[in-house]
Each structure stands twice: as C-alpha cells, then as structure tokens.
Chain A
Amino acid sequence: MIKDITIGQYYAGKSPLHRMDARMKLLLTLGFMVVIFVCKNFFSLGLLAAASVVLALLSRVPAGMLLRSMRPIVMLVLFTGTLNLLYTKGEGMHTLVELPVWRWTLTITREGVNTAIFTTTRILCLILASSLLTYTTTPSMLTTGMERLLSPLSKLRVPVSVFAMMMTLALRFVPTLIEEVDRIMNAQKSRGSNLETGSLGKRIKAFVPVLVPLFVSAFRRAAELAYAMESRCYTGAGARTSMKRLRLRWSDFAAAGCMALLTAGVIAINYFWGSVI
C-alpha cells in the first residue's frame, strides 16, 4: 500500500523521452500543463488527451506502472467529477435529469456533465504528464535541470543551488522514509495496533504510533546528514559544478516544435469551434 506512491520514481529506459534534456522536459511539461487549461472544447481536449497517450507510448514506460501512479488520485478525480456533475448550476443552463433524493433534488445539467468531463480529463492528463516527467528523468537530472533553469535568479541573490541541494536530498530520502514507514508499521502491528480496519477517525489515530517514530528518525537522519556534509566542508556557497552535463540536441528542439504546434492547434480549435465550458 505504501509502496504504491510513485513520487520521484524513475523507470530506467532508453526512449526518446528519456534521452531528452531535463531542462527542455521541465519547460515542455510546464507548457503542456498550461495548454491543458487553455483548451476550451471537446476537440482540443481530445487532441491533448491523444497527445498524452502518444507521449506515454513514446516513453515505453509499462502501462501498469503509469496506472499505478494514477491510483492514489482516483478518489480525488471521482470526488471532483461528482461535485462538478451535481453542483454546476446557474441561469440558462440545460437541465438533463432531475433526481429526487429524499428531501433534495439533484439536478444534472448539460453544463455540469461538460465540466465534470473536463475536470477529470484535465486532472488525469496533468498527472500523466508529470508522472511521465519523473518516470523518464532521474531525480538528480531533474534537480540539475531545475537548478540550471533557475540559475538566473542567483543574480538576484536567491540561493538557487542550496534549494537544488535541498530538493536532491528530499528526493533521495523518499524511498528511505517509505522503507522506514514499512518497518515501523510492522513493529506496531506486531504490538497489536490495527492499521487496516476501523472507522476513519480510528485509523487516523492508529497512525500516531507510526508517525511519531517516523518524525524522530527523520530528524535524526537529517542531523546525521548535516554533520556528514559539514565534515566534508559543504557550505552551500560557491558555484558547484555538476557531474552530468546537460546538452540540448536537435531532438530537444524538435520536441519544442511539436509542443508549439500542439499549442497552436489547441488555440486554433478553441477559436473555430468555440468553448463549451
């Protein structure tokens, strides 16, 4: 259950997406996310969904792994979808069905259906795009990419490299802490704590014996790491070079070109077919 979380998980491969420059991937993913919110009708939404699927196929990450990264947000998608479906109301909307439920009447409007479809597809595309980024980019490349992209800010005295180091360390400790959670959960289960069944309130309470030791060990690890870094003269100051160089190649520019075409396509479709939400 705990091991399903896939933040910062890398799937080793040699696909075109894996070979791309991390900076370009970051920029294009950001751009893709913006475009997801630019699209206004079903044609452009369909185009974006198709583009996401093509990207997923291109990455050669197994479909099972991608679906697993979606699993934690299924509830969120269902929740927002239902809310949008039922609570989109206003003047001049087309009522499709009216369901009497005890004292209330649930009204489903055509606009509600549209909004529900849009929000769910958008969330799914967002998650897919961002998990493709983390699946095809090693955490270290990702932070190097971010550091380089943000490096102009260091002119404004923003400690970019320190933030990048913090990112790297945070990502590095994700698997360690997941393991730790597993270990502590086993220990507390052995002492009879019931983590699987019971009401939500009870279950949240049951996690206190897991969370307290987890925080204690996280702080201990952090202190040990700080000592280890200091004893190797880390101060955070000075320009640190990176072991892996980032290099833009023609394929990166080709990808940027595709992204530009996609954006133009979405805007054109929005313009010609009008918006439904």
Chain B
Amino acid sequence: MKDGQTREAASRAAAAAIECKNISYRYPNLPKGAPHAIEQVNFAVDTGELVAIIGHTGSGKSTLIQHLNALLKPQEGMVFVDGKNIWENKSAVRAARFVAGLCFQYPEHQLFEETVEKDIAFGPRNMGLPKEEVHRRVREAAAFVGLDASLLPKSPFDLSGGEKRRAAIAGVLAMEPRVLVLDEPTAGLDPQGRERVLQMILRYRAQTGKTILLVSHNMEDVARLAGRVLVMHRGRAAMYGTVEEVFAQAGALNAMGLTVPSVTRIFLRLREMGLPVRDGVFTMEQGIAELLRLRAEGEKEVSHD
C-alpha cells in the first residue's frame, strides 16, 4: 500500500526537479507548543527553472532548503528530488546530497583545505570520482566562478572576501549537482562582488540549463533572475507564482514584512499620481523601457494636437 503510494507519487513527480509534498518540520529541542519551523509546505520546481525563495527572517527559508538535500528529515510529508523519494533508503539519502548541491549563507566559512584547489575538490572526492575527473571538475568550476588558475595553489585564507565566496561556491558547483540551491549568495559582498556572483549564476544557468533555487532578501535580484517566486511566511508557503504574479501583490507582501523592488514601488506611486503606466515593471530595464514608451506616447499626443 505504502509502496504503491510512493511509486504513484514518484511517477507524478517525474517531471519536477524538486517536489515537496506537505512537508512539516519542528525543531525537536524546542519546548512544547513552539511553532513548526515549516508547516505543510507544498511546492514543485520544474527542471531548468530558476525559483527564488523570499521571506522575512525566521520564515523558514533556511529550514526548507535543508530538506532538499536530506540534512533535515521532515516529520510529515515527502521530498522528491529528480522524482526520487530521498528518504526511501540510506543510499537515496546520500545520493540526495549530490543531486541537490546546497550552498549555505557565507559559504566561505566552510573553507578548510591548504589550497583552493583541494578545497574545491573536497566534494567531488567525497563522491568517489576518479582523479582526472576531479581535476577536470575543479578547473571547470574555478573557471565558472571566475577564479584565476593562478589562485588555485594558494591558501583559501589568503583570498579576498569576494574570491573566498566564489571559491566556496565553486566547491559546490564542482559536484555538478542537478539542482543548485544558493542561500543568499550575495550577502555581505561589495557591489562589485555581488554583481560577479549574480553574473555567474546567470552564466551557469545559460550554459548548463540546470535547476536553481535562490534564497534572497534582495527583491531587485529576485526580479532580475527568477522565473517563479516562493514566498515563505511563518513556516508556510504563502505565495508561489511568477515574478509578475507575486510582485503584483505589494500590499500582501508588505504585510509579511517584505517589499517589492524599488522600481516597482516608484511605478506604483506614479500610477497613484495619475500617470498611465503599465503593470509589471520589476527591473531597471523594464522601468526605462516603460518611461521611454510613455514619453513616446506623450510626444505622439502632442504632435496630434
């Protein structure tokens, strides 16, 4: 009976890179009556999609992503990665670690090896890959994050902050996970470092077409990168939809302690002031285009008169 259910659910999830079915988790060492960290969360991510997860501090984002590579076991519900129930057996748990590559907040705090090269190789070596393959993956991952080959023999502790961050991300990329999960990859970086990391994510997606989950507090980044947005609020999945659908609900987001991109806020205000601007302005580029369109229309009207 249970097997039948699992198989049925697995076949349904076959198309999805990640599917969480009604998962709930409560930290076991909290006093009784403490709320669940996540409760009845349901969502699926299609293969090749880039989904952003947003939510206020303590909304359950980090707890949620730790379920995706079997660091936490949901007390209720099931997690499917690439159509497989990751808690089916012991080998599935270990496999899940490699299928979903999790890159935590401030990943540079995990660097430990003597050289950058060895550190990036840590994951692939744990996968038991042959030496040449590990070597290839290290070179590729380093190139991907824009680390110069001359940095590889250096100690990771001699790198700059931004370089450390990229080296740590390379350590996850080198495992070539089918799903990449990034928890605030740009937190605490200077503007140039942020831009490099964001460019890297875009390039990675364009070249590999792999599924990416991105936890972010920066709505501009979300609007620029993501296809769909999952909004977490008090441990529940409060909204899940396209960038347009989610950011159209500025009021509801504000109530959850979140905002819409500042460009969107400007255009909402312009509308209130009576300008005929369109909906769906979330990025700077869209904003510029919309303003140019308005000006062009205005000029047309003037010339008609």
User: CA of A200 to CA of B244 in the docked complex: distance in angstroms?
Assistant: 53
Interface status of B171 (Cβ within 8 A of chain A): yes
Q: Which residue in chain A gives the minimum CB-CB distance to B105? A: A183
Task: Kindly report which residue of chain A lies nearest to residue B70, judged by CB atoms.
Answer: A189
- Nearest residue (CB) in A for B127 is A192
- Cα distance A184–B105 when bound, in Å? 11
Interchain CB contact under 8 A, A192 and B126: yes
- The number of residues on chain B lying at the interface, defined by a beta carbon within 8 Å of a beta carbon of chain A, is 25
Interface residues of B in 75-107 (CB under 8 A from A): 94, 97-98, 101-104, 107
Tell me whether A264 is interfacial, beta carbon within 8 Å. Answer: no
Return chain B residues, CB-CB under 8 Å to A154.
none
Task: State which residues 182-211 of A face B: CB under 8 Å.
Answer: 183-184, 186-194, 208-209
A216 is an interface residue with CB less than 8 A from chain B: yes
Which residues of B lie under 8 Å from residue A190 when comparing CB positions?
Answer: 69, 71, 97, 101-104, 172
Chain A neighbourhood of B111, CB < 8 A: 213
Q: Does any Cβ of B come within 8 Å of A3's Cβ? A: yes
Interface pair A213/B126, CB less than 8 Å apart: no
Bound: A251/B127 CA distance, A: 63
Q: Which of B94, B109, B157, B172 contacts A191, CB < 8 Å?
A: B172
On whether A189 and B97 interact (CB within 8 A), knowing A184-B109, A213-B110, A213-B111, the answer reads yes
Chain B, range 170-200, C-beta contacts under 8 Å to A: 171-172, 175
B123 sits at the interface (CB 8 A): yes
Give residues 206-232 of A contacting B (CB, 8 Å): 208-209, 212-213, 216-217
Q: Are A212 and B104 in contact (CB under 8 A)?
A: no
Verify B102–A193 contact, CB threshold 8 A.
no
Known: A186-B104, A192-B97. A212 touches B126 (CB 8 A): no
Known contacts A209-B112, A216-B157, A217-B109, A187 near B126 by CB under 8 Å: no
Interface footprint category on A: 10 to 19
Interface centre among A3, A192, A208, A213 (most CB of B within 10 A): A192
The answer, yes or no, to whether B144 is at the interface (CB within 8 Å) is no
CB < 8 Å: which of B66, B69, B126 contacts A193? Answer: B126
Pick the residue among A186, A208, A216, A217 that contacts B71 (CB under 8 A): A186
Q: With a CB–CB cut-off of 8 A, which chain B residues contact A3?
A: 29
Question: Given contacts A186-B104, A190-B69, A190-B172, is CB(A213)–CB(B97) below 8 Å?
Answer: no
List residues of chain B with CB within 8 A of the CB of A213: 109-112
Query: Is the CB–CB distance between B172 and A189 below 8 Å?
Result: no
- For residue A212, which residues in chain B have a CB less than 8 angstroms away from its CB? 112
Q: Is B122 an interface residue (CB 8 A)?
A: yes
Residues of B near A188 (CB, < 8 A) are 110, 122
Alpha-carbon distance A216/B123, docked complex (angstroms):
20
Closest to A191 in B: B123
Complex Cα distance A3/B28, Å? 11
In the assembled complex, how far is the CB of residue A31 from the closest CB belonging to chain B, in whole angstroms? Answer: 33
B157 — which chain A residues lie within 8 A by C-beta?
216
- Counting chain A CB atoms within 10 Å of each CB, which of B103, B112, B175 scores highest? B112
Task: List, in ascending order, chain A residues with CB within 8 A of B175's CB.
Answer: 191-192
What CA separation (Å) do A193 and B97 show in the bound complex? 10
Distance of A212 Cα from B127 Cα, bound (Å): 21
- Given the complex, which residues of A lie within 8 Å of B94, measured CB to CB? 192, 194
Q: Contact flags (1/0) for A161-196 with B, using CB distance below 8 Å?
A: 000000000000000000000011011111111100
B188 to nearest A CB, angstroms?
Answer: 13
Chain B residue nearest in CB terms to A215: B112
Given A186-B66, A212-B112, A191 contacting B126 (CB threshold 8 A)? yes
Measured between alpha carbons, how far is A199 from B107 in the docked complex, in Å? 28
Q: Which residue of A lies closest to B27 (CB)?
A: A3
Q: Could you tell me which residues of chain B, from 103 to 141, have a CB within 8 Å of some CB in chain A?
A: 103-104, 107, 109-113, 122-123, 126-127
Which residues from chain B contact A186 at a C-beta distance below 8 Å?
Answer: 66, 71, 104
Asked if B104 contacts A209 (CB within 8 A), the reply is: no
Closest beta carbon of chain B to A194's beta carbon, Å:
7
Return chain A residues, CB-CB under 8 Å to B69: 190
- A-B complex: 10 closest residue pairs judged by Cβ atoms: A192-B126, A212-B112, A187-B110, A191-B123, A190-B102, A209-B112, A187-B104, A213-B112, A186-B71, A192-B97
Can you identify 5 A-B contacts, CB atoms within 8 angstroms? A184-B109, A190-B71, A192-B122, A208-B112, A209-B122
Given A188-B110, A193-B126: 11 more A-B contacts, CB < 8 Å: A186-B66, A187-B110, A188-B122, A189-B71, A189-B97, A191-B175, A192-B94, A192-B122, A192-B126, A208-B112, A209-B122
Measuring CB to CB, which residues of chain B are less than 8 angstroms from any residue of chain A? 29, 66, 69, 71, 94, 97-98, 101-104, 107, 109-113, 122-123, 126-127, 157, 171-172, 175
